[in-house]
Amino acid sequence: MSVRVERLTKRYGDTVTALADVSFSIEPGEFVAVLGPSGAGKTTLFRCLTGLTRPDGGSVIVRGRDICAIRGQQLRAARQDVALIFQQFNLVRRLTALHNVLAGRLARLPTWRVVLRRFARPDRQRALACLDAVGLLDRAYARADELSGGQQQRVAIARALAQEATVVLADEPVASLDPESAAVVLDTLRVVARTGVAVVASLHQVHLAATYADRIIALRAGRVVENAPVGRLDARAFEQIYARAGSTP
């Protein structure tokens, strides 16, 4: 098992319960889509999974360690196991694709190498292999700001791969992309999952989740209202995920 979430609860103030008793686990090689209307708790869940937000209760176990229970150096080490990809690609725009991917290895490299940009040959080779895996080897030396949105998102995925994370989280990774680029990015995430990584992506488009994901976890008002393989869900079940909240997809 790659990640196990147990009874996760997060409140903001006295009135907002962003996550209520959320439990699920994800296997290596699985691509899980998290669905749910705005405010359902998707981003809060991802922030708890990376240790950026501390829950009020529950645990997140990655490789035997509870991310919610550790701090400092231990937490920094555990965070290497969890890569996060954002809606906005968060690349260093003036650096090349290759350098951005190498940045994914920073935590694993001595500081002086990073400062001097002296990356050892194995690190470069690894970074190039990650760019190859997302279909961008030929753009390795292009600056990030010369790439299209879809290409930038694939560089972000390559960076997550270079980090050698156990879990790759993507919060609305295709929200800023046109349909064609979105399809390529989701296809890439699926390829990444098949290398044995657990991939969890929040999506707003039900049809994309149904096409690319292995399993759907649906949240509503901070609770898990669906957790099933895509093949077990029919059109009505998908409609319900949004209908129950009284909003449309």
Ligand X SMILES: Nc1ncnc2c1ncn2[C@@H]1O[C@H](COP(=O)(O)OP(=O)(O)OP(=O)(O)O)[C@@H](O)[C@H]1O
Residue 40 or 213: the one with the smaller Cβ distance to ligand X is 40
Long-range CB contacts for residues 17-20, cutoff 8 Å, separation at least 24: 17/221, 17/222, 18/44, 18/222, 19/44, 19/45, 19/48, 19/55, 19/222, 20/221, 20/222, 20/223
Q: Is the CB of residue 159 less than 8 Å from the CB of residue 103? A: yes
Q: Of 36-44, 112-120, 138-146, 148-156, which part binds Mg ion (CB under 5 A)? A: 36-44
Residue 36 binds which of ligand X, Mg ion, none (CB < 5-8 A, kind-dependent)? ligand X
From the CB of 216, what's the least distance to Mg ion, in Å?
Answer: 17
Q: Does 247 bind ligand X (CB under 6 A)?
A: no
> What's 235's DSSP letter?
H
Among the listed residues 239, 241, 206, 247, the one whose alpha carbon sits nearest the alpha carbon of residue 227: 241
Among 3, 8, 18, 161, binds ligand X (CB under 6 A): 18
Residue 134 or 200: the one with the smaller Cβ distance to Mg ion is 200
Residue 22 or 160: the one with the smaller Cβ distance to ligand X is 22
From the CB of 64, what's the least distance to Mg ion, in Å?
Answer: 28
Alpha helices (runs of H) in 80-229, residue ranges in sequence order: 97-103, 111-115, 121-133, 149-162, 179-194, 206-212
Residue in the shown chain whose Cβ atom is closest to Mg ion: 43
Residue 138 or 239: the one with the smaller Cβ distance to ligand X is 239
Classify the phi-psi angles of 117: left when phi > 0, otherwise alpha if psi is within -120 to 50, otherwise beta. left
Among the listed residues 193, 187, 139, 144, the one whose alpha carbon sits nearest the alpha carbon of residue 167: 193
- The CA distance from 78 to 234, in Å, is 37
Q: Does 43 bind Mg ion (CB under 5 A)?
A: yes
Q: Of 1-9, 12-20, 161-169, 187-195, which part binds ligand X (CB under 6 A)? A: 12-20
Q: Considering only residues 27 through 56, tell me which ones interact with ligand X, judged by CB under 6 A.
A: 36, 38-44
Residue 16 binds which of ligand X, Mg ion, none (CB < 5-8 A, kind-dependent)? ligand X
Q: Considering only residues 204 through 223, tell me which ones interact with Mg ion, judged by CB under 5 A.
A: none
Q: Does 12 bind ligand X (CB under 6 A)?
A: yes
